[in-house]
Structure 1
Amino acid sequence: MKIKLTLSLFLLLSIAEGKLQKITEDNWRDVLQGEWMVEFFAPWCPACRALQPSWDEFSGWADDLGIGIAQVDVTESPGLSGRFMVTALPTIFHVKDGVFRQYRGARDKDSFITYVEEKKWTSVEAVSDWKSPDSLQMSLVSHFFKLSMLLRNVHTTLTEDYQMPSWASYVAFAVATILLGGILGLMLVCCIDCIYPPRREPVPQTSRREDKKDSDVEEDDIPDESDEDLSQDDRSQDEGSQDEDGTQDEDGSQAEDGSPGEEEDKGEGNFREPEVKSRRRKPRKAD
């Protein structure tokens, strides 16, 4: 009798486990069609282990409810945890034709069945479009989650397998981050320059001939000696003309000053001439 009960329980568990589907990075798009209840869990999570029996029992009702019941192991598929923005474990989503709603009710078999049969999910607000798992931005988030898990595995390998100190691993990651950031920044600048090339300002036109050599330009900049001599001659001529003007002015002033004296001399000469004439006119005595 005990053997029969054991076999029946084993068969029931095997049937239940057969209805419980496993979702990975490769087949996650299957949940976009039809109606699904999906649980995100991790083997190390105590709450997930406590929920596991109820979830297994609920999976046995998959055919009766006409839905798919699945699980996602975030340790094996870290990209899905980023794609669905899973921040706590366990997390349960109800999916209906690609529309996602997070289940926030009691975590037992009867509550799950009631939630689906009575369509209580219709009163729950759906996930917004920009958070939809099949959107482009959430695809980028999933890649970041994959990268973080990869870096974590590398850190674990360096510290445990190669016995490297933790600070050395952090320094290596910092240097790699700086180098990667510099390369990505350079690539971004090059792409921007190719798409939006910088505008070149027009060069102002000068009167100088384009075919003029640098030596000619230098000669133009150096003052010519002949020009200096000409300027000096001009200066000397100006000074000479100023001197002549000065002398003429002095002569004119002297002439003006000397006119009264000349008149006096002429007057004296006229006054003396009669005396001479009177002397000459004296008659000679006869012998």
Structure 2
Amino acid sequence: MKWSGRRNSENFEDRRGMSSGGKTIIGGGIIGIVILLLNVFGGENGQMIGTILEQTQGKQTNPTEQRALTAAEIEEGKFIEAILVDTEDVWGKIFQENNLQYERPNLVLFTDSYETGCGSATSASGPFYCPADQKVYMDLSFFEELKTKFGAQGGDFATAYVIAHEIGHHVQTLLGTSTKMRQMQEGKSQSQANKLSVALELQADFYAGVWTHYNQKMNNFLEEGDIDEALSAAHAVGDDAIQAKIQGHIVPESFTHGTSAQRKAWFMKGYKTGDINQGDTFAEIR
């Protein structure tokens, strides 16, 4: 994807090389946390994230000294910031077109561990959006594991897709969708509550597609193979694909994010239509 020449963002925080002196998550990396939660990225229900991070916190770690970032890490940071800038511009435009005001979220890059508004996080958490402080948190080591452990194709647009998905959850927070979903979950059985969680996650995938549609019109940023990279990442993090890989069998009632096919389909619907009004993923469970 083409991303150079973007402006800087006031909402980008690069905390890599710094230690928060917080707690680490038990589980031995993303695979460990997935075995526990069957969840790679995007468990962005505020209550869910807070509970998950609290339950998986381990012992205190000693603060480490700050280190200088490498040239490669600096370039990575510039790339992530460029994606954030594009989400700011696209969603600012979409909200304006709908007579709404877009509040820009912060995106925080960190290494090892970091204190968030939803609790202490590590790379094992996977990228996630915290509604408590309206920030997206990411340890970039996640993307290497996404390729090596979960078979995703990788590539720069796979990273863009994940970030766009997380920003999609911020959009849901601003529109009140996340709050309504949590209210709908009250009094429901676990399987019914899971279906509502799936709808929320698939809508975030749809919003990632809408962002891609708009950003292509605004910046002509896509290159050959980019959409395939996004679809490969979406396939890798489908509940069915994760469960088959981790536990050898699939339990649809426990799905919280949607199948590989659903995640790809909703991303592509957003990308092809560019119409935020066509993303009612809750329709089938009303």
TM-score bin, normalised by smaller chain = under 0.3
TM-score by length of 1: 0.22
- Using CA pairs below 8 Å that are at least 6 residues apart, which structure has the higher relative contact order? 2
Report the structure number with the largest CA radius of gyration. Answer: 1
TM-score by length of 2: 0.22
Q: Greater helix percent: which structure?
A: 1
